[in-house]
Each structure stands twice: as C-alpha cells, then as structure tokens.
Chains A and B, each alone.
Chain A
C-alpha cells in the first residue's frame, strides 16, 4: 500500500523557516516525481513545488520561488520542503503528493494527510 507521511509543520514567525518532510513507502520512490500542494484555511488547493524522480529537476510556483526549496533523499525515500522567509500568506496545510509517473508534469495520484504550517507574529 502506498503511504505518505508528512511531518514538520508548526508555528513560525514572519521571516522564519520551517522544514517539512514526507516519508514514502509502498512504491519505488525514485521512479516517481513528487509534489507539494497547500491549502490555506477555507481556501482551495495550490500547487507549490515539484521534483523529478532523480531530483535533478525542481519546479516552483511563482508565489514561493526563491523562498522554498524542494529536495529528496532517494536512499531514505523521503521528500523535503525547506521554507524560508515565511509570510503570513504561507499559512496552510501542506500535502506531499506522489506524482503518477517520473514526469513531474503528470498528475498527483496519492496524497499524504498533510501537515499544518502557521505563520504569525
């Protein structure tokens, strides 16, 4: 069974940092691109970032470019999202999601349960 376990959320002040992790199991991790998607309170879903299966290609929404860094450790089947220069508008539930194929451009087929990030002074 495919499982994704997101963690690392919490509270941070504006300008602060957090690092999210996503432990994956039940599939060949390095054969699949991965994504992060967020959902602000009472709002819809927003794709945040994606990474290819090898980790060689990374992609970001304009809203987080230059502040967030996606990475992966294929030896540990783990996905990361380093979030720096946090803003109040980054407050959301963050989901890691498995992409259907190795192509980061493909759709997400399995999602983690999400981890909550709150940015407030």
Chain B
C-alpha cells in the first residue's frame, strides 16, 4: 500500500498571504493525485485532479504541481473561506490512499 504523507499537519497563514501544502508518496503515483478541501461537518470537495488540473468551478488561486512522489498545493492569496482541512489522494495504485490532511488555520 502506498503511504501518502502530508506536511505540515497544521499551517497558520494570514488572509491574503500564500499557502503551500505538501504531499509525498512512498512510491511513484505518476500524476494520479487529487486534492480535496474539507470544511468542518461537510463532505470533501474536489479541487485538483491529475496533480495540476483545477476542477470545475475552482478559483484560479488554487494550483497544483508535481509528479512521481512529490506534490504541492498552492493557494496564492488566502480568502476567509479557504481555511479548512486539505487532503491528497493517490489513485495510481490499489487501494487508493489518502494523506492524513493539513489543517489550514487563520494566523
């Protein structure tokens, strides 16, 4: 099973600043990686698929990059609604595995 490791566990950033979240795979997942945003009490929302393609309706301030084992989600200018938990998921190998999440909190 591929282990997905996200860092940091918690990230404190001020509104308007940039946030950079990391996700690493224990072995290559090529570009078969997605990012989800989850707010308290809500279902996950797809942000990025194929490591770098924004899902429909996702603002341009969200961008994804990386391939193989190292991936990054960047939020260029944080808005109040962006403070949430972010998960990565690899779908290159069975079983699909998630990172443990990064909580993005207001500084």
Identify the A interface with B (CB < 8 A). 44-47, 59, 61-62, 95, 100, 105-114
Contacts and interface: CB of A to CB of B under 8 A. Distances in A.
Given A61-B95, A105-B91, A45 B44 contact: yes
Q: Is chain B's binding surface mostly helix, strand, loop or mixed?
A: loop
A114 B91 contact: no
Nearest 3 CB-CB pairs, A to B? Answer: A111-B43, A45-B98, A47-B96
A114 to B, nearest CB: 6
Interface of B: 32, 34, 42-46, 49, 55, 87, 89, 91, 94-101
Nearest to B91: A107
A109 B55 contact: yes
Given A95-B43, A108-B46, 19 more contacts: A44-B87, A44-B99, A44-B101, A45-B87, A47-B96, A47-B97, A59-B94, A100-B49, A105-B94, A106-B91, A107-B34, A107-B46, A107-B89, A107-B91, A107-B96, A108-B89, A109-B55, A112-B43, A113-B42
**Which residue of A47, A62, A107, A114 has the most chain B CB atoms within 10 A of its CB atom?**
A107
A95 B44 contact: yes
Contacts of B97: 47
Contacts of A45: 44, 87, 89, 98, 101
A95 B55 CA distance: 20
Contact of B43 (A47, A107, A114): A114
B100 to A, nearest CB: 4
B4 to A, nearest CB: 9
A107 B44 contact: no
Given A45-B44, A95-B44, A109 B94 contact: no
B43 A113 contact: yes
A111 B95 contact: no
Contacts of A59: 94-95
A23 B97 CA distance: 25
Contacts of A107: 32, 34, 46, 49, 89, 91, 96
5 contacts: A46-B98, A47-B96, A105-B91, A105-B94, A113-B42
